[in-house]
Structure 1
Amino acid sequence: MATSGVSRIVGQRLKSILTRSYSRISNSARVTCTNQLFALPKQHPSSIAFYSSAQANTATSQSGDAKLGDYEFQAETAQLLDIVAKSLYSENEIFIRELISNSSDALEKQRYQHLSQENDGVSDDDYEINIIVDKQENTITFQDNGIGMNSEDLISNLGVIARSGSKKFIEQLKSQGDGANSIIGQFGVGFYSAFMVGSKVVVYSKPHGDDSPGFMWSSEGGVSFSISEAQNVDPGTKIVIHLKPDCRKFATEDAVKGIVQKYNNFVGFPIKLNGTQLNTVQPLWTMGPSQIDEDMHLNFFRYMSGSTTDHYQYKLVYKTDAPLNIRSIFYVPESRPSLLDMSKESTSGVSLYSRKVLIQDKTEHLIPKWLRFVRGVVDSEDIPLNLSRELLQNSSLIAKIRDTITGRLIRFFKDQSKKDEEKYAVFHAAYKMFIAEGVMSESTQDKREEVAQLLRYETSLKPEGQSVSLDEYIKNMTDDQRNIFYLCAPSRQLAESSPYYEAVKSKKMEVLFCYDPFDEIMMLQLKTYRGKQLFSVENEIVADMFKDDKKTDTTDELVSPQMTKFKDWTKGVLGERVAEVKTTTKLDKHPAMVTVWEMGSVRHFLRSQYLVDPKGLSDKERGMLFKPVFQLNSNHPAVLKLSQIHETEPEISSLALEQLYENAMVSAGLIEDARPMVNRLNDLLTKILEKI
């Protein structure tokens, strides 16, 4: 079942239990409480006390803070705890992320208290999070020297589900006109993730500057928890999780190290595992440009890309406060992606963080798929998350963030193309397929044209190796030119020797040369750019045929009777394979060409059809579907000779004409497999040699 489906089911179960639990509360209060818990993060989640008012074996602590002893869960709230602890998260490893986040918040609160109220003798360098794993005892322990809790705090924070002490702390600071951007917690449910892996959870805690011996909170996640005084408790909080038999891997250093570096590698305090610090990579996206040197960028890029040798070609540090608070950093790898990387269904290379804690690795929500070659991080304290902090909410807001980031990356690449054309040419050669994918995959014309700004093409009027953008092409257009003309060919040599370029060369118009197989489909998808229609030169030739203009020489007014007779004979030989036979004087080196309206679409159709059925369409089916026009160069020696001998040498003439026709079809890209013509060529050679 998909994670989103599970979350919906869990949410429904939680809401159902909450409604039953509050059956004794007034209707308005009950609705408010349940709705707040499942609302967007900007609203206040409700607090659900899940201990009974009837307490057994209680006694007042020496400090008089609260009663110690055993507390019973109510039946329905015990079930609620079970759901939150065991069904809310997609992976049980997330408990490490949640508990480290809680420790980070505790340290942040203590640091604020230290700076604003009193001197506890602890400097920033002393704050740290320690994780201790013990395979023999099958335990994992989290310890910090943060704010700490007394017995009353333990009951309030650990005995009440969905009461976020961190959120309350943030609200207090905001009411004082202060901020707390480093506080991670929002919902007050992260602690209970410990019960996903633990059969028993014991918490030791003590506030700084408190003379009491400290307190212990203990629960096996069933029907009760207990609170008692404890001796020799250091200021801060220590959580000891006795792992379930099937969760023994979390008592091993390798497993815990990988999880910490995946989710919490950028937490602002040292995280030590059995005495060794794990988080040594700095969150560069939170730092100022003057604080970051090239070595730091390179190390961070290699961390994000998982490579130890690769370099980045481009880097972008992007920060904005609208539409949301966003702190981000992006890199483009220098190494050219392989064909497998280009073609495979790979995921995004950008990870989503919230306050330096990983929310989604390689998220698919923040950049379009065509930008999957980009590596980086997007961090926002305002991104709306669901209760488990694994899924995003408010799709319209996420779409705005996506558009903002995508637009910024496109502007960055465009700026780089002007700053260093040679460097951009290297980037374009490596990532053009992704850019073309972006043009074809975007849903609106405005977005397609936005991506198309990054495309570069050689043209008929520029020397080989020099390319232009579509905007530069439009700038160079003549006043009477209305279209952007392009020609698809595998290379410049084939483009310049193409019969279609030859037929329009006399017009002196600039033609974009498109060498990649996907260019043609992309041009058909883009259709227009800046109000100019993208027009293939093949279509321009067809359009010329239908112009009622005496200046065009595609008409047959000056054709000799002999050539007219030859045309009729040609149509008889080719039959239904062609819709019409015409003569032209626009060709120079080529004896003939085939013209079809929207030839690019026809080629795409034939390729698709060939993949489905290698036999392809019959000649008759091609003629009926595409209505090709066969144009003969009336000045070419081969055509002139055929017009003279087609009556006296009908067999050789027919074979030669068939070859001229199929040569033209191959030049047009309308034949997928040219091997069948080999036998005819052999027959033609034999007949010619026999005449010698």
Structure 2
Amino acid sequence: MQKGNIGVTTENIFPVIKKFLYSDHEIFLREMVSNAVDATQKIKTLADKGIFKGELGDLTVRVSLDEKNKTLTISDRGIGMTEEEIDKYINQIAFSGVNDFLNKYKDNANAIIGHFGLGFYSSFMVSNKVEIITKSYKEDAKAVKWTCDGSPAYEIEDAEKADRGSDIILHIDDDCKEFLEKARIQALLNKYCKFMPVPVAFGKKTEWKDGKQVETDKDNIINDVEPLWTKTPSTLKDEDYKKFYNELYPMQDEPLFWIHLNVDYPFNLTGILYFPRIKSNIDLQRNKIQLYCNQVFVTDQVEGIVPEFLTLLHGVIDSPDIPLNVSRSYLQSDSDVKKISTYITKKVADRLNSIFKENRKEYESKWDDLKLFINYGMLSQEDFYDRAKDFALLKDVDGKYFTFEEYKQLIKDGQTDKDGQLIYLYANNKEEEYSYIEAAKDKGYSVLLLDGQLDVPVVSMLEQKFEKSRFMRVDSDIIDRLIVKEDVKKTELDSDKADNLSAAFRSQMPKLNKVEFNIEVQALGENNMPVMITQSEYMRRMKDISRFQSGMSFYAQMPDSYSLVLNSDHQLIKNILDDETSKCNDALTPVISEIKGQQARLAALHQNQSKKKPEEITQEEKDDLSNTEKTLNEQREKKNQIIADYAKDNKIVHQLIDLALLQNGMLKGSALDAFIKRSVSLIK
């Protein structure tokens, strides 16, 4: 029997492994099974080269639990090890300076094993003793047993083993009892070993017999040794890809498209990326791409390898050029990873472009599902916009699809304003903005439907990309001011009448939470609506963008600002003005006269005092100015009160306000109830 100490620079390596790898301790099983698979692959290689001339036989790697004895065993029929090889590969851990090792990797437990070749030693994360019973494939090799109890001390002794290969027996620690549960081991094998290239068996298959699950004599093979991405694309059918997707993501909707990656220069990369049906909730879709290294699962957090917008995709990437234990710093600095990222972006863009060109009708039918993904790509990656601008689509309110260039050609003659700006009209909701859409259509304009989750930031992006172009929502102004072809027609009302009309409506506007109304009087033609509500394109867009962009939250806190536009050409507005004039004239005449008198006095006082230095103005003059301003404000309030008293009993004023609010989804609760009752009384 040989005894000795494992060749490390200090005796605290095992507490280090236990402590600093504990957060990721489940990966021990991946490491153990990977080692067994490697040993199996090596015997196959030796046989292919004629170095090993014996029978390969059953090469299945077996994982077995013994709950009674608290052991988990990983067995293979690979190349095995001689006593000298155990001493070389197991006892002499090639690293120095445990303290350096701790300082450098304490925040990245997953990187420790791969970096230091500690794959086997991950077993001590969950074990208080590990045994290796192994026999080399070499002729006349004898079986040996290596034992270590988690200290640097080990023992090697002769053992009985009929066949080549290795059995790694883990004596599971009391604080890791979960790894003695069959369901837990099954779940981990399914996660890490599902596609390993050598059959991996865990127990026996079961079947229902006499009302209970009974073990059969068939191995329960947990992996597919030839997953779809390892096969030649030309040998596969659509159904194969759909079936594999369902295997990866049970209960998911059928994917839209897929891309089969297969490249061997300047790096090795295979895989299948699927376009899932995504409409919203970006974050819920992340971590769906699985990264493998030679069919061994590494991670499903692929940021850094895959461009950010492509993390919305589902599927598998397999590359031996990416190490098993990926660290974020590695991803940020490695040139191969950057090449892979660029390659994947190009392949995705090429695939979308080819689908668009080969079958545009099918592409259009899937655009609503694809749109979020492509918009996210164009927003987050400049070079993807350059590729996508030829197959990104715009959809109008009638469901017709256009490329950017096609739509520009469609609207350039009819929707260019007097300053040469091309105006893209759009709606976010066909139903809520219906009357505004119809008004635009009546003018011969086209209206886009931009109802997607990222359409607000996309609009701002396209305004920067398109020359002399502006996007306007159809309800952001009256239709004649959305695309101004000539100077706006001024209202024919004199300022006093326009002011009185505005005051009547302003006094009856409801007090809504975080909403402000501005009243405008505009000559819009007798066939246009008497009253309309519009909302500033700029302010609404800033508030919408504040939901996506940090540092803009102050916009979200600002009240929504709307304009109530009164059409002075409409007969109903004329009737209200005539009625207001006849009923309020007697009361208003002396007040207006007083207002004009006080305004003239105030102007004279200002003019007089403007000629003096501040210190030359007497207190009496200051008081005179202050009293005049006070009297003027009192008279204005008196005037507004007279108009408000008139307007509060005018059902038509209330009806027009409520109609405008109703059109914009702003009439609710008791106000809606009052509107309905008033409507009934007006119809009688």
TM-score, with normalisation over the residues of structure 2? 0.71
Q: CA deviation at 1:360?
A: 0.9
- State whether residues 502 and 587 of structure 1, in contact with CA within 8 Å, keep that contact through their aligned partners in structure 2: no
CA distance in 2, matches of 1:515, 1:188: 52
Which residue of structure 2 aligns with residue 4 of structure 1?
none
Residue pairs, 1:79-478, within 5 angstroms: 79-84=12-17, 86-88=19-21, 90-123=23-56, 126-162=58-94, 187-274=116-203, 275-280=219-224, 282-307=226-251, 310-321=253-264, 324-333=267-276, 342=281, 345=284, 347-361=286-300, 363-367=302-306, 374-384=313-323, 386=325, 393-397=330-334, 398=337, 401-402=340-341, 404-430=343-369, 432-433=371-372, 442-443=379-380, 456-459=393-396, 464-478=398-412
> Is the CA contact (8 Å cut-off) linking 2:39 and 2:79 kept in structure 1?
yes
The alpha carbon displacement at 1:97 in A equals: 0.5
CA distance in 2, matches of 1:236, 1:137: 23
Partner residue of 2:566 out of 608, 632, 657:
632
Distance 1:135 1:545 in 2: 79
Q: Matches of 1:295 and 1:504 in 2, distance apart?
A: 44
Q: Is the 8 A contact 1:503 1:586 kept in 2?
A: no
Structure 2 partner of 1:552: 487
Q: Which amino acid aligns with 1:382?
A: D
Deviations 1:170-193 (A, max 9, x none): xxxxxxxxxxxxxx9774211011
Contact 2:392 2:403 in 1 (8 A): yes
Change beyond 3 A, Cα 1:531–1:148:
farther
Whether the aligned pair in 1 keeps the contact of 2:433 and 2:474 (CA below 8 Å) is no
Tell me how far 1:222 sits from its aligned partner: 0.9
Pick which of 154-163 and 413-422 moved more: 413-422
5 Å-filtered alignment, 1:659-674, equals 659-661=655-657, 663-664=659-660, 667=663, 669=664, 672=666, 674=668
**1:272 alignment partner, SS class:** strand
Which has the larger Rg? 2
Q: Any idea what SS the aligned residue of 2:429 has?
A: coil
Q: 1:688 to 1:451 in 2, by over 3 A?
A: same
Q: 1:346 to 1:374 in 2, by over 3 A?
A: closer
Partner SS, residue 80 of structure 2: coil
* Structure 1 segment 677-692 matched on structure 2, within 5 A: 677-678=671-672, 681=675
How many pairs were matched up?
568
More deviation in 273-282 or 512-521?
A: 512-521
Whole-Å separation in 1 of the counterparts to 2:63 and 2:333: 39
Secondary structure of 1:382's counterpart equals coil
CA–CA distance in 1 between the matches of 2:385 and 2:461?
Answer: 9
Q: Judging changes above 3 Å, is the alpha-carbon distance between structure 1 residues 617 and 134 closer, same or farther for their aligned structure 2 residues?
A: closer
Cα gap change, 1:71/1:248 in structure 2, threshold over 3 Å: closer, same or farther? same
Asked if the contact 1:578/1:630 (under 8 Å) is kept, the reply is: yes
- Deviations along 1:274-321, one digit per CA (max 9) or x if unpaired, are 3432213632222211333444323321121023x8533322212345
Letter in 2 for 1:197: V
3-state SS in 2 of match to 1:476: helix
Alpha-carbon distance between aligned partners in 2 of 1:599 and 1:134, rounded to the nearest angstrom: 69
Residues 341-362 of structure 1: CA deviation (Å, up to 9, x unaligned): 7376453211111111111135
Could you tell me which amino acid in structure 2 is paired with residue 429 of structure 1?
Answer: D
Give per-residue Cα distances to partners, 1:88-112, cap 9 Å, x unaligned. 3533221110011111211222222
Output the amino acid matched with 1:644: D
What one-letter code is carried by the residue in structure 2 that aligns with 1:646? E
Amino acid at match of 2:653: L
Percent pairwise identity: 23
| Residue equivalent to 1:19 | none
Alignment match of 1:486 (pick from 425, 433, 438): 425
Please give the secondary structure, in 2, of the residue aligned with 1:143.
strand
For the Cα contact (< 8 Å) 2:6–2:91, is it kept in 1? no
Please list every run of 5 or more consecutive structure 2 residues that lacks an aligned counterpart in the other structure: 96-112, 204-218, 508-515, 548-554, 585-645
Post-superposition Cα deviations, 1:621-648, rounded to whole Å, max 9, x if no partner, equal 96xx84x654333443322332332323
Q: Is the 8 A contact 2:473 2:537 kept in 1?
A: no
Cα–Cα, structure 1 residues 517 and 152, in superposed 2: closer, same or farther, change >3 Å? closer
TM-score relative to the length of structure 1: 0.70
Bigger Cα displacement from structure 2, 404-413 vs 133-142: 404-413
Q: Report the Cα distance in structure 2 between the residues aligned to 1:99 and 1:219, rounded to whole angstroms.
A: 16
Q: In the alignment, is the contact (CA less than 8 A) between 1:216 and 1:227 conserved in 2?
A: yes
Where 1:429 maps in the other structure, the secondary structure is: helix
Paired position in structure 1 for 2:435: 497
Assess if the C-alpha contact under 8 Å between 2:305 and 2:331 holds in 1: no
Closer/same/farther in 2, CA of residues 290 and 401 from structure 1, 3 Å limit? closer
CA–CA distance in structure 1, aligned partners of residues 224 and 162 of structure 2: 29
Distance 1:85 1:664, change over 3 A: same
Instruction: Give the structure 2 partner of residue 14 of structure 1.
Output: none
* CA deviation profile, 1:559-593 (whole Å, cap 9, x unmatched): 266xx654232123245976563323368442233
Aligned residues of 2:82 and 2:143 also touching (Cα < 8 A): yes
Aligned partners of 1:586 and 1:682: how far apart in 2? Answer: 28
CA distance in 2, matches of 1:142, 1:587: 87
The 3 A distance-change label for structure 1 pair 147 and 448 is same
Amino acid at match of 1:79: N
Whether the aligned pair in 2 keeps the contact of 1:595 and 1:629 (CA below 8 Å) is yes
State whether residues 144 and 237 of structure 1, in contact with CA within 8 Å, keep that contact through their aligned partners in structure 2. yes
Q: Which amino acid in structure 1 is aligned with residue 24 of structure 2? A: E
Deviates more, 1:212-221 or 1:576-585: 576-585
